[in-house]
Structure 1
């Protein structure tokens, strides 16, 4: 059945849904929340909660990556961020948090002009490894060729290639593009790559050998991609489409399972519940973790799009502080707005609908039910 709609006589568009447009439906069975497992595994690495800290300077420092790992998640350090440009970026992080809205973009562009230093990449990753947690770092596709050897020598368990959008078929007449399939094949560590927001794009990324695909395009709290580029991918539809690509690739490859990781539009616990219900194996969180007291953004949140030298596609936004990292993840909750005890909310939703683990919960019934405040 087609869900295309007529926009005008010369154009039709496919109807797509955000997380606000869908809801999970209770079933005939309920379960004790204590019997629900939130664990997941990618390659040889098992995590007790399906939370990946987004590689953004407002979210992940070496210290917060370690703390998230100790809480059972995975912290991913931005290897193009302040921690690999400056010996001690604390004063700059404090400055960014005090900038006026008018001054923020220009000043951030200036701050991020400092070159990336390979010795700092090594130092930061070794610091995380010394704490005994899984080590993960992220580079954009543009920087991967330049720095990946340093990253591998420093020692990472998981390597993330993350951009606003990443394709397996980048065309350029001036720059030799990153050959993802050859690159991933030559590496000795699992690679998570994205974002992708369509079935076909995700299927192509899966065929490169990626262990996981990030789903999203310009949907985060700090991005203005829809305003600046006119491009947007409603996340419920995007996750469901990429989950379908995972299913079909599983058959095509003879049993190779590629993990689907929702990345964007996940500000509150209800969004995270619906991401997994639509087919995600795990969730990459930015704004949700930027609200933790330990977050380096001090109540502010921004991504690499915010300081792009030629075309900024994001903003530094105020998200506030709702509690410690432990309270954000596990409670006790102090607010009824889905910003604290987010894992408790996921566990309770799964119990309320009768599911005992994340894989099972991907089969839960979902309805289209647009949310209307008030």
Structure 2
């Protein structure tokens, strides 16, 4: 059955759904929330919740990556961010936070571009990852595809446990006429650590990424609250459909590979516990959180949120956006919550949703019934 609908005489388009367009449905059986397990394992690493901290300077510092790890999640440090450009990035972060209180400001963008023009220092990559390792949590760092060839050896030599290659759109082979292309299949084969790669927003590109040997695929396209990709590039893939499509690619690759399971990780547009619930219900194994964790009191952005897209030297497609501060990180994730809008006790919300629909583990919860009720959500 085709979901294509006519846009005009010359073009058809596929009907797709955002997370706001879908909802889960209770069935005849319910459970006690205390019986629900949120444990998640990828490769050899186990976590007590399916949460990855997005590699964004407003979300993850070495300290918050450590804190998230101790709370049962995985913190990913942005290895192209301020922590690897400056020995002491705190004054730089304070300057960004203190910029004029406008989300869309050419002056703010210009100043942030200047601050991020400071070169990345390999010795700081090593030092930051070592700081995380000394805390006894899983060590993970992220590079964009454009920087991976340049710095990956430094990252691996520093003893990273899990490597993330994250961009707006990532393909199995990045083709370029300037320099050598990044062939992910060859690259991942040579590494001794599991690699999470993305974003991908459709069945075919995700299937190709799975064939590279990746341990996980990020579902997203730079569509979170701090980006303007939709306006700047005209790219938008509603997340409910994207997650479901890539979950289908995971299923087909499982058969194709003779049993190799690749984790699907929703990345972007997950602003509340309800969004996390629906992302997992659509087939995600875990979620990568940006703005939801940027609201924690410990977050480096102090209530402001931005990503690398906002500081691109030639074509910025993001901005510093105000998300506010909700609660300490532990309360944001595990509660007890004091907010009725799904911004605190995120895991409590997930546990209660699973219990209300009769599921006690994350994998079985992917079978939950869903309805479609279109809204104007994104």
Give CA deviations for 1:142-165 in whole Å, capped at 9, x if unaligned: 100000111011111000000011
Aligned counterpart, 2:372: 368
TM-score (norm 2): 0.98
Partners of 2:175 and 2:182 within 8 A in 1: no
The equivalent position to 2:353 in structure 1, one of 342, 349, 352, is 349
Output the CA distance in 1 between the equivalents of 2:321 and 2:47. 30
Partners of 1:219 and 1:225 within 8 A in 2: yes
How much does 1:218 deviate?
Answer: 2.4
1:43 correspondence with 2:43 = yes
Aligned counterpart, 1:80: 80
Aligned counterpart, 1:34: 34
Aligned counterpart, 1:233: 237
How much does 1:371 deviate?
Answer: 4.2
1:4 correspondence with 2:8 = no
Aligned counterpart, 1:247: 251
How much does 1:331 deviate?
Answer: 1.2
Output the CA distance in 1 between the equivalents of 2:312 and 2:39. 36
Superposed, 1:156-167 pairs within 5 Å as 156-167=160-171
Output the CA distance in 2 between the equivalents of 1:170 and 1:15. 28
Runs of 5+ unmatched residues, structure 1:
none
Aligned counterpart, 1:312: 316
How much does 1:179 deviate?
Answer: 1.0
User: Secondary structure of 1:95's partner?
Assistant: helix
User: Secondary structure of 1:363's partner?
Assistant: coil
How much does 1:181 deviate?
Answer: 0.4
Q: How many residues align?
A: 373
Output the CA distance in 2 between the equivalents of 1:130 and 1:328. 25
1:207 correspondence with 2:216 = no
Superposed, 1:105-184 pairs within 5 Å as 105-184=109-188
Output the CA distance in 1 between the equivalents of 2:233 and 2:316. 10
How much does 1:372 deviate?
Answer: 6.8
Output the CA distance in 2 between the equivalents of 1:121 and 1:257. 30
Partners of 2:199 and 2:222 within 8 A in 1: no
Change (3 A) 1:310 1:372: closer
Tell which deviates more after alignment, 160-169 or 244-253. Answer: 160-169
User: Secondary structure of 2:174's partner?
Assistant: coil
Aligned counterpart, 2:96: 96
Output the CA distance in 2 between the equivalents of 1:176 and 1:287. 34
Runs of 5+ unmatched residues, structure 2:
none
Output the CA distance in 2 between the equivalents of 1:225 and 1:372. 18
Aligned counterpart, 2:267: 263
How much does 1:176 deviate?
Answer: 1.4
Partners of 2:250 and 2:261 within 8 A in 1: yes
Output the CA distance in 1 between the equivalents of 2:191 and 2:175. 23
* Runs of 4+ with deviation above 4 angstroms: none
Output the CA distance in 2 between the equivalents of 1:138 and 1:174. 23
User: Secondary structure of 2:132's partner?
Assistant: helix
User: Secondary structure of 1:8's partner?
Assistant: coil
Output the CA distance in 1 between the equivalents of 2:18 and 2:375. 10
1:19 correspondence with 2:19 = yes
Change (3 A) 1:125 1:219: same
Aligned-residue CA RMSD (Å)? 0.9
Partners of 2:202 and 2:245 within 8 A in 1: yes
User: Secondary structure of 2:49's partner?
Assistant: coil
Give CA deviations for 1:103-124 in whole Å, capped at 9, x if unaligned: 3211100000000001100000
Aligned counterpart, 2:291: 287
1:276 correspondence with 2:280 = yes
User: Secondary structure of 1:17's partner?
Assistant: coil
Output the CA distance in 1 between the equivalents of 2:270 and 2:373. 18
Partners of 1:218 and 1:231 within 8 A in 2: no
Aligned counterpart, 2:70: 70
